[in-house]
Chain A
């Protein structure tokens, strides 16, 4: 590698770092962004703490989120106590343990589906903008079609037909939103990027289309991609919870399933009783979804300068 290239690289890195610092400052000032980030971090701690607790503090026979059962408690579901901070469910399992285990699952689901959708959306969207013509038409029509699919209805249909676990669900949601709305948004943004002089220059000096895309177009739409990733997580978690609520997913434990277990057992009749069966998972769904949404809004201000405060 030639020295000037290294130097170029370094200066580009510095430039990026400065841009990043600037962006962080805007993000920080948006107020909602850091709030969301804090919430996400909180849930992250919950998720990470679970294996630790299971390994060293909790007896798996009692606290396992799926097979655990506390024989020392006479009647399940039991209200919160020192032994079970969030009580037990109708099958005698610790609600807090289920909630924490579920957090990990929700993160995995949300992040996996978001990564899939954004990878697809970014690649397809920038390619459509760059190549135009038939590629563009094809993917735009496809996006129209995918966006028209009533997502929950389709997922419900699929989950009634196939055995759908978290991974399958994440892939499905990722595909649905990747080829759908995200493609269109990224494409319209990328359109303004591909006409910029340096892209033109890169093309002229003989860069292959994919090289130009990778080095000049995609980095410029990345912030927007990242933004949509956040919104996508919210959608994925809500879809999972809804499908689990109807008992249609084959998952070991999830927030939706905790509520489903309570509902199916007849414990969701009066909301002032058995509150520990619905409030923690219900609140967790709302908070985590809101957290990702808020981070998205914070990023929005970074990406979209027009939204910034006057």
Chain B
């Protein structure tokens, strides 16, 4: 390069440095010394602080993480990590349901809930029965179905008629039908409670507008709070900041979990205590969870790709990465070596499944489905092929959801070798009248077999070529890989099957709208209360767009599933859920294949969680990284 050019560039660099230094001078930032901060990396962005939109069309993990979970509360909640039903704003468990004549002369079912005293909103005003009653009545007036999202499940308009306040410390719920446990304890009583003072003017303006729902969802509102945190700042695209609630009467409260299943809650500041009566607390608690917040602020930083978030964690710029699907396995080794970082792994509450189209042969024959289930060797794929990236799962309710999981259902081919599985499947098929051009030959002594060819239906005609739809490896390599193994195993049985790896939308469209499929592999994220069994397999959901894609129809199952929603006692609901699981394990409209472990990482040199073993991990179950429970390390 000529000297002149060098000189020019040099002088430019000097000029640049001078300007930079000049800028560096006044770079004093308002100090945040003495403020403790818990920093969470989010792999997406919140889109609104409006709770109506958050629970409506804009329901997203990121919105819930920064606003809904840290700021809002309900009458009752499920306490992690055991998911016991405990009072939130309520003082005690709900009173018994009674039949009562309403002012209009009709008969209603009613239930009374007593409220805690002394809880306060972010502006210092008390949380009252008026707020609670106003919330429910307003949602009913706006129509939860039109609000969309989670609202219909929170305020079941088919059941709930209105909520009446009884003085300042109790509310009475009026139902037109007897609400079951799904509607009562796991529905209405867990709906978020809003502050009347914040929302009344907004709702009034919305109702006066042309499209009230749209106006309400579009409203820009600084969210109120009765949780641990209040809104501080939202720098769009970059970060979201909450600060500790100034009037938090529950700070320092303790939730004690006893080995016998009992729970006790003690809140020293407000003088509130509550405990389960049956069983009553006994002996030493197995876990005591102290409620904070223990940090002055929670800072959520938004990253658009997981590499960025992981690098930030290693550099100590964030304390925890919130990712609903957990961290990928490739990060594991590198994070394990990073100083000050700890890893935890928990099973996800969900499953990936193989569905059959029961409207078509040969899937209408139960024995065929059972034979398919028998040859599927989850443990082999999980242990050998995918090596810990999946956890084998065969039941419709995962074992991690301990209260609702039925441990005694039929597991097909459990513990068998490959050859034994083929032998068992051949037996099942033969019993049902299937035959082969060339039957699979199994030699159990040497634990080997010769694959079969040309499976024939009980009527003698050959089984037509079948298609197995699965997401392409780009979308999900796990399901794609599993599908190819299923194809291989079915071919061993002489079933002419071909895997087609397609994009997600195509599969969804073909399976839910057109019912144009033989078999497919997709997945579900699940709730704790297992009413999803009804959604997936009730015959009323078998039409286009319904969730019962296999077209499973069983009147006995339907009856039981309906009852699951109607019973009012927890024990009874559990017994029904067990029966449903037993039926499904025998009938197999789906074969449940596996779930994914959720791997999470946090800075153990900076923060400490009260527990880390929990279904769905630290991010799951509404904990969203536990901002109110996490403490500074040391």
A and B: direct contact (Cβ < 8 Å)?
yes
Chain A residues packing against B (C-beta within 8 Å): 66-67, 69, 71, 75-76, 90-92, 163, 244, 247-252, 257, 260-270, 273-274
- The residue of chain A having its C-beta at the shortest distance from the C-beta of B474 within the complex is A247
Given contacts A163-B502, A163-B506, A250-B502, contact A244 B385 (CB under 8 A): no
CB distance B330 to A265 under 8 Å? yes
List chain B residues, Cβ under 8 A from A71. Answer: 384
- Provide a sorted-by-A list of 19 A–B residue pairs whose CB atoms are within 8 angstroms: A66-B473, A76-B387, A90-B329, A90-B330, A91-B386, A91-B477, A247-B475, A249-B474, A251-B474, A264-B477, A265-B328, A265-B330, A265-B477, A266-B330, A266-B331, A266-B332, A268-B330, A270-B334, A274-B330
Given contacts A67-B484, A90-B330, contact A266 B310 (CB under 8 A): yes
Q: Does B588 contact A (CB under 8 A)?
A: no
- The residue of chain B having its C-beta at the shortest distance from the C-beta of A261 within the complex is B477
CB < 8 Å neighbour of B385 from A92, A247, A268:
A92
Tell me how many residue pairs across A and B have CB atoms closer than 8 Å: 68
Q: Does B307 contact A (CB under 8 A)?
A: yes
CB distance A248 to B474 under 8 Å? yes
CB distance B329 to A266 under 8 Å? yes
B118 CB to closest chain A CB, in angstroms? 47
List chain B residues, Cβ under 8 A from A262. Answer: 330
B99 CB to closest chain A CB, in angstroms? 54
- The residue of chain B having its C-beta at the shortest distance from the C-beta of A67 within the complex is B484
B162 CB to closest chain A CB, in angstroms? 45
CB < 8 Å neighbour of A269 from B311, B475, B481:
B311
Query: B306-332 toward A: CB 8 Å interface, digit per residue (1/0)?
Result: 110011000000000000000111111
Given contacts A90-B329, A268-B307, contact A261 B473 (CB under 8 A): yes
CB distance A265 to B307 under 8 Å? no
CB distance B307 to A163 under 8 Å? no
- The residue of chain A having its C-beta at the shortest distance from the C-beta of B387 within the complex is A76
Q: Does B501 contact A (CB under 8 A)?
A: yes
Give the 6 A-B CB pairs with smallest separation, nearest first: A266-B330, A266-B328, A247-B474, A267-B330, A266-B331, A265-B330
Number of residues in B with C-beta < 8 Å to the partner? 28
- The residue of chain B having its C-beta at the shortest distance from the C-beta of A64 within the complex is B484
Complex Cα gap A76–B387 (Å) = 8
Given contacts A250-B474, A265-B328, A266-B327, contact A91 B384 (CB under 8 A): no
A275 CB to closest chain B CB, in angstroms? 13
B310 CB to closest chain A CB, in angstroms? 6
Chain B residues packing against A (C-beta within 8 Å): 306-307, 310-311, 327-334, 384-387, 389, 472-475, 477, 481, 484, 501-503, 506
List chain A residues, Cβ under 8 A from B311. Answer: 269
Main secondary structure of the interface of B (DSSP, over half): helix
Besides A67-B484, A90-B477, A266-B331, 16 new A-B residue pairs in contact (Cβ under 8 A), listed by A number: A90-B329, A91-B473, A244-B474, A247-B474, A248-B474, A257-B473, A261-B477, A264-B328, A265-B328, A266-B306, A269-B311, A269-B330, A269-B331, A270-B334, A273-B333, A274-B330
Complex Cα gap A273–B387 (Å) = 20
B631 CB to closest chain A CB, in angstroms? 29
Complex Cα gap A91–B306 (Å) = 19
List chain A residues, Cβ under 8 A from B389. Answer: 90
B597 CB to closest chain A CB, in angstroms? 14
List chain B residues, Cβ under 8 A from A270. Answer: 334
CB distance B474 to A269 under 8 Å? no
List chain A residues, Cβ under 8 A from B502. Answer: 163, 250
List chain A residues, Cβ under 8 A from B310. Answer: 266, 269
Complex Cα gap A269–B330 (Å) = 8
List chain B residues, Cβ under 8 A from A92. Answer: 385, 387
Interface centre among A92, A244, A264 (most CB of B within 10 A): A264
Interface centre among A90, A252, A273 (most CB of B within 10 A): A90
CB distance A257 to B474 under 8 Å? yes
Complex Cα gap A303–B336 (Å) = 58
B601 CB to closest chain A CB, in angstroms? 11
List chain A residues, Cβ under 8 A from B474. Answer: 244, 247-251, 257, 260
List chain A residues, Cβ under 8 A from B331. Answer: 266, 269
- The residue of chain B having its C-beta at the shortest distance from the C-beta of A243 within the complex is B474
List chain B residues, Cβ under 8 A from A249. Answer: 474
Interface centre among B307, B386, B503 (most CB of A within 10 A): B503
List chain A residues, Cβ under 8 A from B306. Answer: 266
List chain B residues, Cβ under 8 A from A66. Answer: 473, 484
Complex Cα gap A71–B386 (Å) = 11
Complex Cα gap A90–B311 (Å) = 20
B383 CB to closest chain A CB, in angstroms? 11
List chain B residues, Cβ under 8 A from A263. Answer: 307
Complex Cα gap A263–B328 (Å) = 9
List chain A residues, Cβ under 8 A from B327. Answer: 266
A148 CB to closest chain B CB, in angstroms? 27
A225 CB to closest chain B CB, in angstroms? 34
- The residue of chain A having its C-beta at the shortest distance from the C-beta of B330 within the complex is A266
Complex Cα gap A265–B387 (Å) = 13
Complex Cα gap A67–B475 (Å) = 16
A27 CB to closest chain B CB, in angstroms? 32
Complex Cα gap A252–B307 (Å) = 25
List chain B residues, Cβ under 8 A from A260. Answer: 474
A42 CB to closest chain B CB, in angstroms? 28
A97 CB to closest chain B CB, in angstroms? 15
- The residue of chain B having its C-beta at the shortest distance from the C-beta of A263 within the complex is B307
Complex Cα gap A251–B480 (Å) = 12
- The residue of chain B having its C-beta at the shortest distance from the C-beta of A92 within the complex is B385
List chain B residues, Cβ under 8 A from A252. Answer: 501
Complex Cα gap A97–B327 (Å) = 28
